[in-house]
Amino acid sequence: MLLEERNLADIAAFLSGFKSFQEKYFGGDESVYARLRQGQSPRALVISCCDSRADPGMLMGAGPGEIFVVRNVANLVPPYSESAELPGIRADIEFAVKNLNVERIIILGHSGCGGIGALMEGEGVTTSRYEFIGSWVSIAAEARQRVLREIPEASRAEQAKACEKRAVALSLANLLSFPWIRQRVETGSLALHGWYFDLDDGELLEYSAETDRFAPLVQRRTGISK
């Protein structure tokens, strides 16, 4: 199939999807968007990866207006900085916390992350192949260093998976470097969560700061085959 034909097929599929959405929310009972036209009030900010296989709305079954989603390569959060020249995700977080008053922030990582894979390959690879990704994923350099120090003999796949999880934990720690996030966490008005979607097992894991480990939050149901 030629590129032009594939493009037409893709657009047709996207438009068909929008028509289904339109029919569901604007074809009869329009109460959802009648409410949302007055403003949004999501209770959770979800910071997830750009990976097309890990869409947070789909994974969490969230409808319109239910979650405020920020996506970036490897679902990373940089530490707080007052002098950030290009605030980027810091501005997204600030809007969700200060304006929308979300009650929880979820860092949603996943297995098979290309951004973490690039980080694990090292600076020489990222700088020769990409213009921007190497600089961005360096936010999680500490996670990479810890993995290489703790499990130096593990396979590259095992190290990458460990780094994906450590990067989630690191982003949670970076969230607490924001003074207005820490203040809300300490007063109990904001909760932080670190989740990890395992594409291989179809399970959702949660990070515990007390144990510094991930444990199943939603396991694969019995009878569901791979």
Beta carbons within 10 angstroms of residue 183's beta carbon: 11
Say yes or no: 152 and 188 in one domain: yes
Q: Per the domain annotation, does 159 fall within a domain?
A: yes
Say yes or no: 23 and 89 in one domain: no
Q: Per the domain annotation, does 224 fall within a domain?
A: no
Domain count, the chain: 2
Say yes or no: 183 and 113 in one domain: yes
Task: Spell out the residues 6+ positions from residue 7 whose beta carbon is closer than 8 angstroms to its own.
Answer: none
Alpha helix ranges (H) inside 27-122 = 31-36, 56-60, 89-94, 114-121
Residue span of the structural domain in which 27 resides: 1-39
- The one-character DSSP state at 96 is I
Say yes or no: 18 and 106 in one domain: no
Say yes or no: 28 and 104 in one domain: no
Query: CATH number for the domain including 74?
Result: 3.40.1050.10
Q: Per the domain annotation, does 27 fall within a domain?
A: yes
Say yes or no: 119 and 16 in one domain: no
Q: Per the domain annotation, does 85 fall within a domain?
A: yes
Radius of gyration for the chain, computed over Cα atoms and rounded to the nearest angstrom: 19
For residue range 98-146, what is the model confidence (pLDDT) as tens digits?
Answer: 999 999 999 999 999 999 999 998 865 556 778 889 889 999 999 999 9
Say yes or no: 142 and 61 in one domain: yes
Q: Per the domain annotation, does 223 fall within a domain?
A: no
Q: Per the domain annotation, does 225 fall within a domain?
A: no
The model's pTM is 0.92
User: Lowest mean pLDDT: which of 26-35, 130-139, 200-209, 215-224?
Assistant: 215-224
For residue range 128-139, what is the model confidence (pLDDT) as tens digits?
Answer: 778 889 889 999
Say yes or no: 143 and 211 in one domain: yes
Mean pLDDT over all residues of the chain? 93
